[in-house]
Amino acid sequence: MARQLVASPVMLCSVAFLLIVVAFAIAPGFFAPHDPEAQSLTRRLLPPLANVGDTTYWLGTDSLGRDMLSRVIFGARISVIVALAGVVLSGAVGVVIGVVSGYYGGLIDDFFGWLVNVQLSFPFLLLAVAVAAVLGPGLRNIIIVLAVTTWVSYSRVMRGQVLTIRDSEYVQAARVIGASDRRLLAKHVLPNTYIPLIVIVTFEVARLIIAEASLSFLGLGTAGLASWGTLMADGRAHLATSWWIATMPGIAIMITVLAINLIGDWLRDVLDPRFQRR
């Protein structure tokens, strides 16, 4: 697999870009040229590549004269946390529920099926406001809201996968031999589900970053800490005159999502023998 990775320059670029984003997230202070909150009203709304004195503002400045490059670098931290924690949390919940309801069926399946339908028939905003009200706003609670609204995709797909695998001949055979449920799941069922899982994860990472932006737009976002989504939502009023304020974090989101998608596609192609390009 490593050999295949090296052989693909597109893949190398994608992986490299994601590593950079992760590095930004881990040590933004090391990479950012300025304090992301430092305001300078004499340097407001500078376009990208503007030179003032001995400083170059690569991505321009915002309405308070804050350096956009530094803000984007610091924004990576929140966006990465939201995306990773959201995927892990919703993925874990969704996978467990999907596998359990697919494998055991019956009442358990009916119950979770009901839960999925209740969840989907329900406006996500209401949930967001209620969580913000009950738990207070903040990063942790935003992650909870997002996880609660995205676990369904995992659960649906996993359930379908498990259903097909459960009835396959080799699992039936293993059962006849007397394998326990847990062993069956761990050794035979789960390993056959990771391909669709990778596809969903690549989708969901993008969706989480966007959903967090939407929460910011609705005024329910992360307070104080500006994620890429928050930067976009806050910068939207400037679109007409100073396009870069909302667009630069938007481009950061787009390249990240592109990289994740490319890696996801590539992984699937490599892992699934049917897709081998010959």
Partner 1 sequence: MLEQQNVNRRQLLVYGAAVGAALPMVLSTSAPAFAAQDGSETSVITVGQGVEPETLDIQQTDVGSTRNVAGLILQPLVSWNYNTGELEGVLAERWSSVDDLTWEVNLRPGVQYTNGEPLNAEGVKFAIERFLTATHPFASRLAKLELTVTPVDETTVQLTTNAPYPFVMLDATRIPIVPPGYLGEVGDSEFALNPVGTGPYTLREWIAGDRVVLEKSESYWGEGYAFDEVVYRVVPEAASRTAALQTGEVDAISSVSLLDFETIDGDPNLDAIAVVSNRSMFIRFDCEDPRLSDVRVRQAFNHAVDKDLLVSALLLGNGEVLDGQPIGRQIVGHNDELEAYPYDPDLARQLLEEAGFDFDEPLTMFGTVGRYTADQDITQAVAGMLGEVGVQIEVQPLEWGVWLTRYRDGTLTPLTFVGIHTSVPDAFTLLDTHSSASIGGKFKNPDFDAIMNEAASTIEPDARIELYNQASQLLRDEAGLLFLYQQYDIYAANHEVEGIDFRPDDAIDLVQAAPAS
Partner 2 sequence: MQAFIIRRLIQAVFVLLGASIVSFALLHLAGNPVDLILPMDATAEERDAMMHQLGYDRPLIQQYADYMRGLVRGDFGESVRSRQPAMQLVLERLPATLELAAVAMAISIVFAFPAGIAAAIWRGSIVDRGLMVLTLIGQSVPVFFLGLVFILVFGVRLRWFPVAGRGGLEHLILPALSLGMYSMARTARLVRSGMLEVLHSDYITTARAKGLSEQLVVVRHALKNALVPIITILGLDIATLLGGAIITETIFSWPGLGQLIIYSVSTRDFPIVQAAVFVIACTYIFVNFFVDILYAIVNPRVRLM
Kindly list the residues in this chain that would bind partner 1 in the complex (CB under 8 A): 38-42, 45, 63-65, 129, 132-133, 136-137, 219-220, 223-224, 236-242
Binding partner of 42, given partner 1, partner 2, none, CB within 5-8 angstroms per partner class = partner 1
Rounded CA-CA distance 184/8 in Å is 36
C-beta separation of 195 from 164 below 8 A: no
Stretch that binds partner 2, among 85-93, 139-147, 186-194, 230-238 (CB under 8 A): 230-238
Give the footprint of partner 2 on residues 22-41 (CB under 8 A). none
Interaxial angle between packed helices 68-104 and 194-217, expressed in degrees from 0 to 180 and rounded to the nearest 10: 130
| Span of 77-85, 99-107, 173-181, 203-211 interacting with partner 2 by CB under 8 A | 203-211
Tokens in use for 25? 């997230």
210 is a site residue for partner 2 (CB under 8 A): yes
Q: Give the Cα separation of 58 and 33 in Å (integer).
A: 10
Tokens of 225: 């800490």
Q: Where are the beta strands (DSSP E) in 39-154?
A: 50-52, 55-57
The first and second tokens of residue 86, run together, are: 């959201």
Give strand pairing partners of 56: 51
Instruction: Give dist(CA 230, CA 164) in Å, integer.
Output: 42
Partner from partner 1, partner 2, none binding residue 72, C-beta < 5-8 Å depending on class: none
Q: Which of 31, 124, 174, 223 binds partner 2 (CB under 8 A)?
A: 124
Binding residue (CB under 8 A) for partner 2 from 100, 233, 248, 263 = 233
Nearer to partner 2, 7 or 134 (CB): 134
Report the half-sphere exposure of 200 (CA within 13 A, side-chain side). Answer: 23
Least separation in angstroms between residue 193's CB and partner 2 is 15
Q: Does 108 bind partner 2 (CB under 8 A)?
A: no
Q: How far apart are CA 242 and CA 99, in angstroms?
A: 49
Residues that bind partner 2 (CB under 8 A): 114-115, 117-118, 120-127, 129-130, 133-134, 152-153, 156, 199, 203, 206-207, 209-210, 213-214, 217-218, 229, 232-233, 236, 239-240, 246, 250, 253-254, 256-258, 261, 274-275
